[in-house]
A and B are shown apart, each in its own frame.
Chain A
Amino acid sequence: MFRAIKRSFTEAIRGMIKNGLMTVTSLFVVSACIFVFGVFLMLILNINFMTDEMADSYEVNVYIERSVQIEDDTVSVFINRDTAADEETYQATVNSIQTQIIGVENVDVSNIVFVSEADVIAGFKNSLGESAISTYTEIQPGFVGDCFRIKLNDYVKAEETFEIIGAIENVASVMKADEVYQRLALLGNVSTDFNDTKYQEVKEKLKNDILAIDNISPESLEFVKGEDIVKEFKKDLTDDELKIFEGLPDDFMHDAYNVRLKDLSRADETIEQLKALENVDTVENTRELVEIIENLKNSVQTVSIWVIVVFAIVSLFIISNTIKLTVHNRRKEINIMKYVGATDSYIRGPFIMEGIMVGLVSAVLAFFISMWSYQGLVSAIIANGSSMAFAFDIMDFSLMWKDLAIAYVCVGVLIGAFGSFISVRRYLHV
């Protein structure tokens, strides 16, 4: 076995030397092909590196709802009382508003109710929990006003409808149920936030809900307080920019859960799942970037596959021609071997070995060409300072050389062996 390999090896060297120019030509062409293959491989490696880096830094922030949710789809249309001189004119105003509301498209005509100010306040008071009622101070009459409570046919067009109604004469404001609640809570000195016990419950439930999503990496889940988010954000700002935040409470940002995803390609789906969870205020992420990188990755991979196929075929052709020449040069010897009773594999061995060696030497050549050009490119980019333009680091050669070397050697050996095999089959009639 060892002797057979040794013989194939020496015979192969002989063949390479005898073929001289053709060997040199094929070495250069094949290493050029492997180099092109390598360029795409390095591109793919870099993109994978970027995606990995991004997967590491890609975070989804799930902000936690902290106010009591009002499950009420009514819209309140408040009436301006100040402009009416007496009760009679006010009544006329109310009637006129009612008629006009009925005339607005998208208003559910069967659901228009007049609610007096006292009833609005009473209703609010009734909805308050124990802890809220303890701080409640009576709302002064006249601050709120009477209203019509209406419903809409189509809530998608709500904004549009609000504007139309808001433009009606003597309409003070148009508010959704939760806005009304917020306003009344402000007037009555009542906190709209969950009480502590309730908030803990909400937080805990949300945490479990988030962890139940399979694409969430459980160990990545991290709770961040809203004020810390603000602090962190303010840290990078100039004094001028900080002025914008004057007057805002320190915790104007909601608390959040920061999570990472296991599989970035499923980011869209996962974010929709997160948004659908109960007590989620907003979900923030850098999805656009993920999409760009994923698209880039896909297109580079598609192009690479075709380029690699084309250059593999070119390499095969070149190697098989070199071997064809060797076979031709040695046809007499092959003939003699056949008569003396050499087996097919004995005869083919040196040719396959020669192909493998051409592939291998080409791979080594291509590796050094790749290394020098890659390092040259990287240092040129760094020297120009344009690396800042890249959102991500370029992969260092030391991180990829092993992958590259293994791929080159495999490709070189495979192409070499296969190329000479084709030749030997076609031109060596043993």
Chain B
Amino acid sequence: MITFENVSKIYDNGYGALKGVSFHIDKGEFVFLVGSSAAGKSTIIKLMMKEESATGGNIVINDIDVNALKHREIPYFRRTLGVVFQDFRLLPNKNVQENVAYAMEIVGASNKEIRKNVPVVLSQVGLSSKAKMYPNQLSGGEQQRVAIARAIVNNPVVLVADEPTGNLDPETALEIMTIMEEINKRGTTVVMATHAERIVNDMKKRVIVVEHGIITRDENEGGYGYVQSN
């Protein structure tokens, strides 16, 4: 499903963010990407999204050679991924329902499909009752749930989450994780970069630890470990 093979990334300013990273994630897996700030987590996410291009190595996602993607093919590639951010990134002038529908409009879905799918995903994240509310009327956890609904409404094969619980209190963070786990159970591969030690330790999922641009640990049912020690 997702294969990184000796991937390196050197930014234009000469900073070497990744120095030969290799891992393989199977379909349906739930993987935590763990590491201190500037360890290389975000770079891995950006490479997966093709927001940045790798300097060396191979990246294959869903049988697509990501390095070889042409500029005009990138949007279509991104439609196979759902993405969730720490800061939610909702459109303030659209209500919950419109925010989700927007993602479908962009990929050219028909009005009929939109009317059918949006309520389904909103109920999946438990927001059916708040479909007409605007982002500023929602709590942080609710906003993130809208963002998740938007990320999955086009049925992506991989859900990529970059510190989705970073701005939330522990309780709300757990709610979000429950939703993420449910999505994973329906067959969507989930890759989540995080700092949340407790969540990683509680969920007992696969953990890939990145430090100074290399993978220092990759274990199933792993824990957060020593990471913050430096």
- Residues of A participating in the B interface, judged by any CB pair closer than 8 Å: 7, 332-333, 335-344, 346
Contact = CB atoms under 8 A, between A and B. Distances in A.
Contacts of A344: 71-72, 75
B91 interface: yes
Nearest to A7: B105
B72 A332 contact: no
Instruction: Tell which of B76, B77, B78 has the most Cβ of chain A within 10 Å.
Output: B78
A331 to B, nearest CB: 12
A340 B107 contact: yes
16 contacts: A332-B89, A332-B91, A333-B91, A336-B91, A338-B75, A339-B49, A339-B83, A340-B106, A340-B107, A341-B75, A341-B77, A341-B78, A342-B75, A342-B106, A344-B71, A344-B72
B105 to A, nearest CB: 8
Given A332-B89, A344-B72, A339 B78 contact: yes
A340 B104 CA distance: 9
Contacts of B83: 339-340
Interface of B: 49, 71-72, 75-79, 83, 89, 91, 102-103, 105-107, 150, 154
Contacts of B105: 7
Most buried by A among B49, B75, B79, B103: B75
A341 B72 contact: no
Contact of A341 (B71, B79, B89, B91): B79
B12 to A, nearest CB: 14
B75 A343 contact: yes
B73 to A, nearest CB: 10
B72 A340 contact: no
Best-buried of A335, A339, A340, A346 by chain B (most CB within 10 Å): A340
B159 to A, nearest CB: 12
A346 B49 contact: no
Contacts of B76: 341, 343
Nearest to A336: B89
A309 to B, nearest CB: 33
Given A340-B106, A341-B106, A343-B72, A335 B89 contact: yes
B91 A340 contact: no
A336 B105 CA distance: 13
A346 B103 CA distance: 12
A164 B105 CA distance: 102
Task: Report which residue of B79, B83, B102, B106 has the largest number of chain A beta carbons within 10 angstroms of its beta carbon.
Answer: B106
A95 B230 CA distance: 137
Nearest to B81: A341
A335 B78 CA distance: 13
Given A341-B76, A341-B154, 15 more contacts: A336-B91, A337-B106, A338-B75, A338-B78, A340-B79, A340-B102, A340-B103, A340-B106, A340-B107, A341-B75, A341-B78, A341-B106, A342-B106, A343-B75, A344-B71
Which of the listed residues A7, A332, A343 has the most CB atoms from chain B within 10 Å of its own CB?
Answer: A343
Contacts of B91: 332-333, 336
Contacts of B103: 340
A332 B90 CA distance: 9
A338 B85 CA distance: 13
A300 to B, nearest CB: 46
